[in-house]
């Protein structure tokens, strides 16, 4: 059964949530983790990039920049970050 980009997006969101505040993840890190999790025969870079786009467009994740681009959860309303 093929993995959908929505399933990959959900798995990526779970990873970003898990690592929030502990480690900043780059898009490449997430892609490698998804390929490792699902296998090269199920997931490729193109599918992972589409999943990242879903996360960004929905507002579930945002890009941050600190010497490199990272994917993180958006800051909570009322907090300064």
* Per-residue model confidence as pLDDT tens digits over 44-64: 999 999 999 999 999 999 999
Question: Is residue 40 domain-resident?
Answer: yes
pLDDT at residue 77 in the model: 77
Question: Cα 36 vs. chain centroid, distance in angstroms?
Answer: 14
If you average pLDDT over every residue of the chain, what do you get?
A: 92
Band (pLDDT 50/70/90 cuts) for residue 10 is: very high
Number of structural domains found in the chain: 1
Question: Is residue 26 domain-resident?
Answer: yes
Question: Is residue 33 domain-resident?
Answer: yes
CATH no. for residue 45? Answer: 1.10.10.10
Q: Average the pLDDT over 74-81 and give the result.
A: 72
Question: Is residue 36 domain-resident?
Answer: yes
What is the pTM for the complete model shown?
0.89
- Answer whether 30's CB lies under 8 Å from 15's CB: yes
| Residue 30, domain extent | 5-72
């Amino acid at each position: 059964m093929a993995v959908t980009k929505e399933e990959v997006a959900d798995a990526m969101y779970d990873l970003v949530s898990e690592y929030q505040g502990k480690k900043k993840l780059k898009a490449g890190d997430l892609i490698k983790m998804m390929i490792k999790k699902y296998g090269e025969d199920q997931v490729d870079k193109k599918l992972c990039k589409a999943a990242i786009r879903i996360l960004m467009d929905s507002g579930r994740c945002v890009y941050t920049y600190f010497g490199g681009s990272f994917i993180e959860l958006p800051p909570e309303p009322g907090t300064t970050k």
